[in-house]
């Protein structure tokens, strides 16, 4: 598989500690990206945990930043809330982000533990799509890319077969999963790029180099940024937006991820 992936922080805009710390840009080159999708812009956010450190003012700033990056599609990686009462407000605000291909997401572990029905209802009300072991096709000028979403990646007894297995090696396929561990634990054949969250970049780190506590079976390996599975499939792990347990980030800034696709 021929690909080149470059990453850079293109716009490190500092807001309050309750807003978004940065926009982190990745340029992704791959031979299977259709010509029509050359320059296609994907915004990816995860782990909002509304309302943790992400409060109303921070959510308004997040929406403004998502509008500013001028994405063609908004993808979301789950763990949306810290209580069911905030779900309508959260998705009312996120609905203000308009893209050509809308908003598509997966659920996180918090969302399977509580507020699942509320999240589904609010996303449907706003025309957003939830992919639970499902596929979605984005089409431009007769060409396509495919999004695959994983249902509860912590329940491998039920969900241990990747939704990508039925696809072609010639398709360009992006797999959305809340935790990066899924990409290592399960064969994700035909996947070209994985987007994941859950780790919060460690949330509290020693100068951004090491996290004493990280919710991954693989320790620091999938803490943040561009990583590769044992099968050499690239995984972009976002630091996410909000926080869990302690309302604190240290050398693990909240972020919007922007991915620009390029045909190689």
Kindly indicate the confidence band of residue 245, based on its pLDDT and cuts at 50, 70 and 90.
confident
Q: What element of type H or E holds 23?
A: strand 22-30
Tell me the CA distances in angstroms from 264 to 29, 203, 234, one per residue in order. 5, 35, 16
What pLDDT, on the 0 to 100 scale, is given for residue 19?
A: 61
Percent of all residues in the chain with a pLDDT value above 70, rounded to a whole number = 93
User: What's the mean per-residue pLDDT of the chain?
Assistant: 93
pLDDT digits (tens, 9 = 90+) for 80-107: 999 999 999 999 999 999 999 999 999 9
Tell me the CA distances in angstroms from 172 to 32, 135, 141, 191, 205, one per residue in order. 5, 12, 15, 8, 35
pLDDT digits (tens, 9 = 90+) for 170-189: 999 999 999 999 999 999 99
What pLDDT, on the 0 to 100 scale, is given for residue 228?
A: 98
pLDDT digits (tens, 9 = 90+) for 40-85: 999 999 999 999 999 999 999 999 999 999 999 999 999 999 999 9
* Domain edges within the chain: 3-263
Q: What element of type H or E holds 26?
A: strand 22-30
Token readout for 151 is: 């249902």
pLDDT at 14 over 60: no
Residue with tokens 């063609």: 72
3-263 belongs to which homologous superfamily?
Metallo-dependent phosphatases (3.60.21.10)
What pLDDT, on the 0 to 100 scale, is given for residue 18?
A: 53
Question: Average pLDDT of 199-223?
Answer: 94
What pLDDT, on the 0 to 100 scale, is given for residue 11?
A: 39
Three-state DSSP class for residue 171: coil
Three-state DSSP class for residue 69: coil
Kindly indicate the confidence band of residue 12, based on its pLDDT and cuts at 50, 70 and 90.
very low
pLDDT digits (tens, 9 = 90+) for 131-157: 999 999 999 999 999 999 999 999 999
Q: What element of type H or E holds 63?
A: helix 56-68
Q: How far is CA 259 from the centre of its chain?
A: 11
Token readout for 18 is: 């309750």
Phi-psi region of 169 (alpha: psi -120 to 50; beta: other; left: phi over 0): alpha
Question: Average pLDDT of 110-131?
Answer: 98
Q: Answer whether 178's CB lies under 8 Å from 148's CB.
A: no
Closest CA to 45 of 119, 120, 115, 97: 97
pLDDT digits (tens, 9 = 90+) for 15-35: 344 568 999 999 999 999 999
Report the C-alpha gap between 185 and 156 in whole angstroms: 9
Strand locations in 125-220 (E): 129-130, 134-140, 143-149, 173-176, 193-196
pLDDT at 3 over 60: no
Q: What is the pTM of this model?
A: 0.94
């Amino acid at each position: 598989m021929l690909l080149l992936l470059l990453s850079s922080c293109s716009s490190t805009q500092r807001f309050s500690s309750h807003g978004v710390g940065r926009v982190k840009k990745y340029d992704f080159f791959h031979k299977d990206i259709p010509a029509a999708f050359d320059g296609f812009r994907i915004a990816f956010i995860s782990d909002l945990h509304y309302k943790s450190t992400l409060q109303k003012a921070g959510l308004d700033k997040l929406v403004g930043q998502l509008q500013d990056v001028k994405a063609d599609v908004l993808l979301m990686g789950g763990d949306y809330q810290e209580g069911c009462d905030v779900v309508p407000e959260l998705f009312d605000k996120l609905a203000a982000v308009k893209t050509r291909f809308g908003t598509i997401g997966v659920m996180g572990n918090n969302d399977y533990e509580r507020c699942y029905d509320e999240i589904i209802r609010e996303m449907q009300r706003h025309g957003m799509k939830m992919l639970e072991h499902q596929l979605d096709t984005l089409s431009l000028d007769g060409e396509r890319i495919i999004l695959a979403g994983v249902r509860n990646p912590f329940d491998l007894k039920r969900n241990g077969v990747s939704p990508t297995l039925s696809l072609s090696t010639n398709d360009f396929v992006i797999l959305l999963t809340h935790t990066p561990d899924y990409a290592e634990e399960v064969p994700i054949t035909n996947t070209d790029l994985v987007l994941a969250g859950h780790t919060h970049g460690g949330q509290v780190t020693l100068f951004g180099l090491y996290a004493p506590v990280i919710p991954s079976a693989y320790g620091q390996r999938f803490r943040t940024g561009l990583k590769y599975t044992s099968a050499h499939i690239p995984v972009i792990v976002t630091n996410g937006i909000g926080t869990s347990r302690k309302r604190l980030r240290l050398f693990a800034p909240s972020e919007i991820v922007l991915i620009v696709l390029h045909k190689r």
